[in-house]
A and B are shown apart, each in its own frame.
Chain A
Amino acid sequence: MKKSNYRDSKIIFLLGLILIVTVGCERELSDDVEFATFPKTAEVFIDGFSGGLNYFPFSGSKANAFTVDQEVKYKGTASMRFDVPTVGDPNGAFAGAIFPDATGRDLSDYDALTFWIKSTQAATLNEVGLGNDFGANKYLVTMTNVPLSTNWTKVIIPIPDATKLTLEKGMFWYAEGAENGNGYTFWIDELKYEKLGTVAQPKPAIFNGVDKKENSFIGSNVTIDGLTQTYNLASGINQTVLAAPSYFKFSSSNVEVARVSELGIVTIVGFGTAKITAAVAGVKATGSLTIEASGGFGSAPVPTQAAANVISLFSNAYTNVPVDFFNGLYDGSTTKTSDIKVGFDNFKYYSDLNYVGIEFKNPAINATTMGFLHLDIWTADTTNTPFIVKIRDRGANGVIDTNVFTGGPTVDDKEISYTVPANQITPGQWISINIPLTGDIASQKGNLAQIVFVGDINFLLDNLYFYK
């Protein structure tokens, strides 16, 4: 580390000199400039740790799952032994660790991480790879579901684009759980980087190779997922690994509509159509995302209730009371929420809805003088599923008490459920919904704390308020 710092300062010094010397004329960077380089050591574990290699178990994993075994080995005098815990093992729920090199290495000459592996029983190794350094994991590579047998077999993990790995610390990592509840042992030997020369025919993919189309709105984000790189190996097998976004170069066909960050986050910035594509090392990835950023939703109907008769949660027309969150990210919820702003108009955009909860507990809302809940929604989707709104009063105990089996209220909570039939959800226009605070909450609405939406549409929400 110290050495590289020194070299960096030397570079700066040299650059400084060049500037001084070449004032008034243009010249290429001097050949004397020597950029800092890192060791190209290929070995990770042959018969022992290679120099600089560390071992850090994942939190929650069995800390002593890894040992050096001098009895069982593929070659030489020792191998890496991994004892996967049985379900319920008090020492940890799984085996998993990273093996970083503190200094970092230049792996750009290699095309694969390889090792020999065998296990005490047929098993499927969940995850194994490189690029995990407990830092940004910028160049993470994951091979999933590697079949293990009781015979030594060679595993080849192709590097998606080795030119990126001029300073990599994450030499090796793995994570594995019990097989059918049972612990077992596997061994890894001759763990090293190689230039096989036979890792070829790259076929990168985004969205797992699917050409996706999505309607979206200004201000919303889409994360590019399903990032993989596939190489054809000497065996003829096409080996796919999961690859971090930083291996990819993303592009948008129209940056006035959508922009993509280095990390594969697409931000919608304007109306129109944009196609998001990607490439790894100049090879175009299969899969794409075509975004229709439609601005056709306009504005929701302007509220007409007098401010004095309203308790507003979300509206530009009123002063809003505190809301804890607009998406509780409940277990099993697929719903994503983003803020959309068009001009001075704010919306909440809910996508991939199955169910989503809004909570306002600090303080809860006393709606005893209120008669209705109002909301406006807009969707581009047609659906066969009704849209359901649930309003919950948490009662005097100050806690939202939910029956974990039904999702319904329990203890002192009360709730009403209001259904908008599917045939009343007209795509492409604002739908105003007014829900009478009757039924179970007619006489208990002094501690309203939660609103839940259930359905399957992507929709914009505006003007969510109670009124008299």
Chain B
Amino acid sequence: MNKINQLKIRARQLSIIPFYVVFSFFVFPSCSTDEKQTVATFNNLVMSDEFDVNGKPNSEIWNYDIGTGNNGWGNGELQYYTDRTENVTVQNGVLLITARKESFNGSSYTSARLLTKGKFEQAYGRYEARIRVPYGQGIWPAFWLLGANSDTVIWPQCGEIDIMEYRGQNPTTILGTVHGPGYSGGNSISKSYNLLNDRFDTGFHVYGIEWGPEYINFYVDDVLYNQITPSDVTGEWVFDKPFYIIINLAVGGSFVGSPNSETVFPQTMLIDYVRVYKK
């Protein structure tokens, strides 16, 4: 089943178009190209939060990172993370993470970062969330995974899979990325996905990966836009052990730059659900 996905991904790579043309005759004999793609095939639900209970997020699933971390969580981010209702709450079936401009414990912004560390960790699987991102210069929401051994094995050795990252100043683009030893930060393995005649901050979109022993497939809605395999990374493949989920909304930092006078606050990231499947 993974083979089909591989072929579809190759179809998106210009360099191997001749290869695709030849093969497509055999692989898709009765399938018109505008048919909905099958982007995910792991269908055994093992964890989900549908955010159906108003108030604090389910404490059996979610922890919080609090404060500013080390050097703004390693990126020079400007926000102070809290678990206050002002920054994180569930309302009307949606998890709301809100970045505010306010003086708080020496920071100029507050926001929230939720993680399943120690509560839900799994190797491989399909990780998916339905999210509406906010917008504006310096706004940086993300849905990502970090190696469960991140406390004992220093980053990037522990591995990081960014299922969705987005710069508020580029409202039509998201990025899917992996970081590991020898390929982290500016040298990470990354691909962007652009919407045509639409943008990410005006509606909900499904962001997911399907991760197996030798590959990670990245998709948005019904479009599979990238696959990363051990041959794509310029170092050790570390995606073979449990990871945990992080959802956060950062303000400023090296990836997006600081907000400017036109950035509207508060900005809210809406998460309709988070689901994890096994094969």
Contacts and interface: CB of A to CB of B under 8 A. Distances in A.
Contacts of B196: 197
Contact of B197 (A198, A201, A203, A232): A198
Nearest to B197: A197
Contacts of B137: 236
Given A234-B172, A236-B169, A201 B201 contact: yes
A102 interface: no
Interface string B169-205: 1111000000000000000000000001111011000
Interface in A114-138: none
Given A232-B135, A236-B137, A198 B171 contact: yes
Contacts of A232: 135-136, 171
Contacts of A238: 262
A196 interface: yes
Nearest to B136: A232
Nearest to B134: A201
Contacts of A195: 197
Nearest to B173: A234
A201 B262 CA distance: 12
Given A232-B171, A238-B262, A196 B135 contact: no
Contacts of B169: 236
B264 interface: yes
Nearest to A199: B199
A198 B199 contact: yes
Given A234-B172, A236-B169, A236-B171, A197 B198 contact: yes
Interface in A164-208: 195-198, 200-201, 203
B262 A200 contact: no
B172 to A, nearest CB: 5
A234 B199 contact: yes
Contacts of A201: 135, 201-202, 264
A248 to B, nearest CB: 20
A200 B197 contact: no
A201 B264 CA distance: 10
Nearest to B169: A236
Nearest to A200: B202
A158 to B, nearest CB: 13
Given A236-B169, A236-B170, A200 B201 contact: yes
Interface in A232-257: 232, 234, 236, 238
Interface in A84-115: none
B256 to A, nearest CB: 11
B264 A200 contact: no
A203 B263 CA distance: 12
Determine the interface band of chain A, counting residues with CB < 8 A from chain B. Answer: 10 to 19
Contacts of A234: 171-172, 199
Contacts of A196: 197
Contacts of B168: 236
Contacts of B201: 200-201
A198 B199 CA distance: 6
B151 to A, nearest CB: 37
A198 B198 contact: yes
Contacts of A197: 196-199
Nearest to B168: A236
Contacts of B136: 232
Contact of B264 (A198, A203, A236): A203
A198 B172 contact: yes
Contacts of B197: 195-198
A454 B262 CA distance: 40
Contacts of B264: 201, 203
A196 B198 CA distance: 7
Nearest to A236: B169
A200 B170 contact: no
A195 B197 CA distance: 8
Contacts of A236: 137, 168-171
Nearest to B199: A198
B121 to A, nearest CB: 36
Nearest to A195: B197
Contacts of B262: 238
A406 B68 CA distance: 64
Contacts of B172: 198, 234
Interface string A207-240: 0000000000000000000000000101010100
Contacts of A198: 171-172, 197-199
A115 B259 CA distance: 30
B132 to A, nearest CB: 12
Contacts of B199: 197-198, 200, 234
A238 B264 CA distance: 11
A234 B172 CA distance: 6
A201 B137 CA distance: 13
A203 B169 CA distance: 16
A179 B138 CA distance: 36
A437 to B, nearest CB: 57
A297 B218 CA distance: 72
B268 to A, nearest CB: 13
Contacts of B170: 236
5 contacts: A198-B197, A200-B135, A200-B201, A203-B264, A234-B172
Interface of A: 195-198, 200-201, 203, 232, 234, 236, 238
> What 8 A-B pairs come out closest when comparing CB atoms?
A197-B197, A236-B169, A197-B198, A200-B202, A234-B172, A198-B199, A238-B262, A200-B199
Given A200-B135, A236-B137, A238-B262, 18 more contacts: A197-B196, A197-B197, A197-B198, A197-B199, A198-B171, A198-B197, A200-B201, A201-B135, A201-B201, A201-B264, A232-B135, A232-B171, A234-B171, A234-B172, A236-B168, A236-B169, A236-B170, A236-B171
